[in-house]
A and B are shown apart, each in its own frame.
Chain A
Amino acid sequence: MSGLEETSNDLLKVKRDQELDADADEELEDDFLVDSTRYLFYRERKEWADLEPVPQDDGPNPVVKIAYSEKFSDVFDYFRALLKTDERSERALALTAEAIELNAANYTVWHYRRVLLQSLSKDLREEMRYITDIIEEQPKNYQVWHHRRMVVEWLNDPSKELDFIADILSQDAKNYHAWQHRQWVIQEYKLWDNELEFVETLLEEDVRNNSAWNQRHFVISQTTGFSDPVVVEREIQYCLNQIKKAPHNESAWNYLKGMLQDRGLSTQPGLLERVQELKETHCSPYLLAFLFDCYEDALENSTEEEQKGTLEMALEICQLLAEEKDTIRREYWRFLGRSLKKKYGNFVEPTADAQEPPASVPGHQESS
């Protein structure tokens, strides 16, 4: 089965490769002079003798059967036994940690562990340390982040969260789980104060970090909002500065457009001119698409006379994108050009052109 890869974290794979299977156990026993204790299966442990292990039962024709080692099966046979009677004990809690080490994606183990933590009134600060370690090892697992959130909620203490998440993001600045957890903490506990600064630090490290741009929008929309013209101008300036540094950056352009699109791109005074200036020295498909969107917005709000000139400019942009600047989306830009012409081009001579797409293709409807 060489070549088949699990869909979860690579670190887990490495851990498993290093794990002793039953055969290796026996070999090492002979060579292990320092520590003579060998791994005991649960079924061999005196203190577990009262419990009847429960094997997995896939029936006569199992499908996608995973071939577990003896050690793995043994741990989970006893996990299933504990579940069946819903035992609440220290030994059960200890076993969940072993089960988690073998398969941290098993959500039932995590749920049972939470039940035990509460039942036994365990020290949740210690649990925070535990879950911190696990997430550091497996930062792309859903269950571990959910568990952390539950513990933070029980403790009602978010004080470690922002630093912890920052550390995870320093290893992978776009980890979706980390960003999600961060947003939850900030919103739940109102920790907005330093977040814009944090975002700017990340954008300085990588101006193309789309997650950081998203966070920027999140922070501002939930604090000052975007209605204040001072804020808007500041943000426009910020975007344009970043674009000058790194023109080929979809995230910056998306942010600029996203901030302004609902109030009308063409209504922002001076913006069109600033972008047209940038076109000469800092062109990109995103800049051109932004111009197109400005012209399209202008068309909606202008008189028929004004429309003709604007339409021509918009169609020029479409052609430039289709033929030269964004050829992978050639058909799409041509389609947009056709749609625009159909909508506004009644007074323009129809040009011999590619086939009209079928009438059912949306985009030809009246604007809503």
Chain B
Amino acid sequence: MAEEESHLEEFEQIDFLRDRHVRFFRRTLQVLPERYASLETTRLTIIFFALSGLDVLDALDVIDRNTMIDWIYSLQVMPTEDESNLSRCGFRGSSHIGIPYSMKGPGVFHPYDSGHVAMTYTGLCSLLILGDDLSRVNKKACLAGLRALQLEDGSFYAVPEGSENDIRFIYCAASICYILDDWSGMDIEKAIDYIRGSLTYDNGFGQGAGRESHGGWTYCAIASLCLMGRLEEALSQRELDRIRRWCVMRQQNGFHGRPNKPVDTCYSFWVGATLELLNVFQYTNFDKNRSFILSTQDWLVGGFAKWPDSHPDPLHAYLGLCGLSLIGEPDLRKVHPALNITQRAFEHLQQLQQTWRDSSDGGCSGQH
């Protein structure tokens, strides 16, 4: 590492301020001011950013795991006694609907209560990060809720009431199926059709057919195919090489998300992880990437922002860390590029899944 440090003296010597970031995430987990109101329905994703961020920093010891696990389970939409709401199950983003706090079932009927696919995904990840065994997850209900969200064209809604539908939610769905080790939650072939249909003329992926190629959606496409175990089936070698080229061209110093757009810290992960999944991340310029990410570090309050001299936020703080982890920043845990949790949390999942498979009645692993 000494060589790397002296090389860095050519650039401004920027230190990675680990302790500030730990404090940033811990504060995030406590209270946010009212101007964060727009995050209310997505609070579970914010918890995920903070918890996974602390995990990457190897600083989870400060967390009161059990109370946090309980709070996450209180967000699970439980089936009612007659199971009439199964297609609406999953995890909520927060308590904003007004369901009374409860960590267990049966569910209470409410005309507007339902899960959100991104919350189910980040909820499951957060539980894994906290070391939970998912035994209180109603897998059957989650998978039923998931099936109800998929459209004919293979994409997913976020919520059963309807919403926009696109590739982001395919990624969430694939992650959920992967974690629960049960692909009955989705029609894989249709999802692959939608993903392939989102491949653009310039060899990235848009949010759907015809739309502009974009680093975030490219990540969703490739990571989904990897989780499904279908990357090389769904895409030819020629296509994969072209996609590699599109991704590699996103590096300017850090990475941007679309050609001719400014660089933004979060793409160091979205594009970086995609390149890692495609086995060519090693050919990117680590120094310039690192310098850019650190230029967006807030030395006072911690965290990272999308650009230098901007305010940090939980998403960029987390993805900035993941971007640094990908290039091997010392003292950061490795991140599983497709699932976007640490390798440590991933290994915990693998052990859990082994337990499920070993259990005599086949447990909840379903068809495989």
CB-defined contacts of B67 to chain A, threshold 8 Å:
60-61
Taking each of B29, B202, B252, which has the highest tally of chain A beta carbons within 10 Å of its own beta carbon? B202
> A112 and B112: CB pair below 8 A?
yes
Distance A9 CA – B43 CA, assembled complex (angstroms): 17
CA A107 to CA B93, docked complex, whole Å: 11
Q: B33 to chain A: which residues have CB within 8 Å?
A: 1, 4, 66-67
Determine if A86 and B248 form an interchain contact, defined as CB atoms under 8 angstroms apart: no
Q: Which of A102, A214, A334 contacts B200 (CB 8 A)?
A: A214
Residue B368 is within 8 A (CB to CB) of chain A in the complex: no
Chain A residues with a Cβ closer than 8 Å to the other chain, count: 89
Partner of A368, one of B158, B162, B213, B238: B238
* Shortest distance between the CB of A172 and any CB in chain B (Å): 11
Q: Are A59 and B71 in contact (CB under 8 A)?
A: yes
A208 to chain B, nearest CB (A): 4
We find that the number of chain B residues with CB closer than 8 angstroms to chain A is 92
A354-368 vs B, CB cutoff 8 Å, 1 = contact: the mask equals 000100111101111
Q: Which residue of B lies closest to A250 (CB)?
A: B259
A331-B201 CB under 8 A given contacts A16-B34, A59-B74, A72-B34: no
B298 touches A104 (CB 8 A): no
* Contact partners of A187 in chain B: CB under 8 A: 210
**How far is it, in angstroms, between the C-alpha of A261 and the C-alpha of B301 when the chains are bound?**
48
Contact of A367 with B237 in the complex, beta carbons under 8 Å: yes
Kindly identify, within residues 1 to 60 of chain A, every residue whose CB is under 8 Å from any CB belonging to chain B. Answer: 1-9, 12-13, 16-17, 54-60
- Residue pair A17, B35 in contact (C-beta under 8 Å): yes
Q: Does B355 contact A (CB under 8 A)?
A: no
Determine the distance from Cα of A174 to Cα of B258 in the docked complex, in whole angstroms.
10
Q: Which of A67, A83, A176, A362 has a CB less than 8 Å from the CB of B111?
A: A83
Encoded as 1 (CB less than 8 Å from any B CB) or 0, chain A from 203 to 243 comes to 00000111100100110011000000000000000000000
Q: B46, A64: Cβ atoms under 8 Å? A: yes
Q: Point out the residues of chain A lying under 8 angstroms from B60, CB to CB.
A: none
Q: A57-94: contact bitstring with B at CB < 8 Å (1 yes, 0 no)?
A: 11111111111110010001000110110100000000
By the criterion CB–CB under 8 Å, are B110 and A331 in contact? no
Answer yes or no: B359 CB below 8 A from chain A CBs.
no
B110, A176: Cβ atoms closer than 8 Å = no
A361 to chain B, nearest CB (A): 5
Q: Which of A57, A84, A222 lies in contact with B95, CB distance below 8 A?
A: A57
Chain A residues whose CB sits within 8 angstroms of the CB of B278 once the complex forms: 362
Interface string of B256-272 (1 = CB under 8 A from A): 00111100000000000
Q: Given the complex of chains A and B, what is the CA–CA distance between A234 and B143 in angstroms?
A: 51
Residue A310, interface by CB 8 Å:
no
- Check: A146 CB closer than 8 A to any chain B CB: yes
0/1 interface trace, chain B 95-139, chain A, CB 8 Å (1 if under): 111111100000000111000000000000000000000000000
Taking CB atoms and an 8 Å cut-off, the chain B residues in 173-224 that contact chain A are 200-203, 206-208, 210-214
Residues of A within 8 A of B279 (CB): 360-362
The answer to whether A83 and B95 touch (CB under 8 A), given A183-B210, A251-B260, A332-B284, is: no
Decide if A145 is an interface residue (CB 8 Å cutoff). Answer: yes
Contact partner of B313 (CB less than 8 A), chosen from A6, A64, A84, A261, is: A6
Instruction: Render B1-45 as a binary contact track against A, CB cut-off 8 A, 1 for contact.
Output: 000000000000000000000000001111111111111111100
Contact of B30 among A16, A60, A65, A145 (CB under 8 A): A65
Per-residue B-contact encoding for A338-368, CB less than 8 Å = 1, 0 else:
0000000000000000000100111101111
Do A329 and B248 have beta carbons less than 8 Å apart?
yes
Say yes or no for A320: interface residue by CB 8 A criterion. no
B285 touches A251 (CB 8 A): no
Q: Which residues of B contact A334 (CB under 8 A)?
A: 283
A146 to B161, CA, bound (A): 12
The distance in angstroms between the C-alpha atoms of A282 and B96, with both chains bound, is 57
Asked if A170 is at the interface of the complex by the 8 Å CB criterion, the answer is no
Report yes or no: A250 in contact with B249, Cβ–Cβ below 8 A: yes
CB-based nearest B residue for A357: B282
* Contact A62-B71, Cβ < 8 Å, known A105-B38, A250-B260, A331-B284: yes
Q: Is the CB of B285 within 8 A of A329?
A: yes
Distance (Å) between the CB of B166 and the closest chain A CB?
A: 8
Q: A58-B101, A61-B67, A142-B164 are in contact. Are A66 and B39 (CB under 8 A)?
A: yes
Say whether B27 contacts A1, CB under 8 Å: yes
Determine if B64 and A368 form an interchain contact, defined as CB atoms under 8 angstroms apart. Answer: no
Answer whether residue A301 sits at the interface, using C-beta atoms and an 8 A cutoff: no
Binds B, one of A252-260, A269-277, A311-319: A252-260
**B contact face: mostly helix, strand, loop, or mixed:** loop
Bound Cα distance A59, B101 (Å): 5
> Once bound together, how far apart are the Cα atoms of A363 and B30, in whole Å?
48
Whether, in the assembled complex, A103 has its beta carbon less than 8 Å from a beta carbon of chain B, the answer is yes
Interface hits, B228-242 → A, CB 8 Å: 236-238, 240-242
CA distance A318 to B146 in the complex (A): 47
B-side contacts of A330, CB under 8 Å: 285
Does A8 lie within 8 Å of B100, measured CB to CB?
A: no
Nearest residue, chain A, Cβ from B252: A328
A213 shortest CB reach to chain B, Å = 8
A201 at the interface (CB under 8 A from B): no
CB-CB < 8 A to A328: which residues of B? Answer: 251-253, 285, 288
Q: Does A307 contact B (CB under 8 A)?
A: no
Measured in the bound complex, the distance between the Cα atoms of B243 and A99 in whole Å is: 43
CB-based contact A210/B259 at 8 Å: yes
Q: Give the residue of A16, A221, A254, A331 whose beta carbon is less than 8 angstroms from that of B259.
A: A254
Residue A105 contacts which of B29, B41, B236 (CB distance < 8 angstroms)? B41
Q: Which residues of A contact B27 (CB under 8 A)?
A: 1, 4
Q: Which of B112, B164, B211 contacts A86 (CB 8 A)?
A: B112
Across the interface, do B40 and A103 meet the contact criterion of CB distance under 8 Å?
Answer: yes
**A60 partner residues in chain B, CB cutoff 8 A:** 67, 101
Measured between alpha carbons, how far is A76 from B97 in the docked complex, in Å? 9
Interface residues of B in 62-76 (CB under 8 A from A): 64, 67-68, 70-72, 74
11 A-B pairs besides A12-B35, A80-B98, A328-B251 with CB distance below 8 A are A58-B71, A58-B74, A60-B67, A63-B71, A142-B163, A211-B212, A217-B200, A251-B259, A251-B260, A328-B288, A368-B237
Which 5 residue pairs spanning A and B have beta carbons closest together? A258-B201, A5-B311, A80-B98, A59-B101, A254-B202
13 A-B pairs whose Cβ atoms sit less than 8 Å apart in the complex: A5-B311, A6-B38, A13-B35, A16-B34, A83-B110, A83-B112, A107-B158, A142-B163, A179-B212, A249-B260, A254-B202, A257-B202, A328-B285
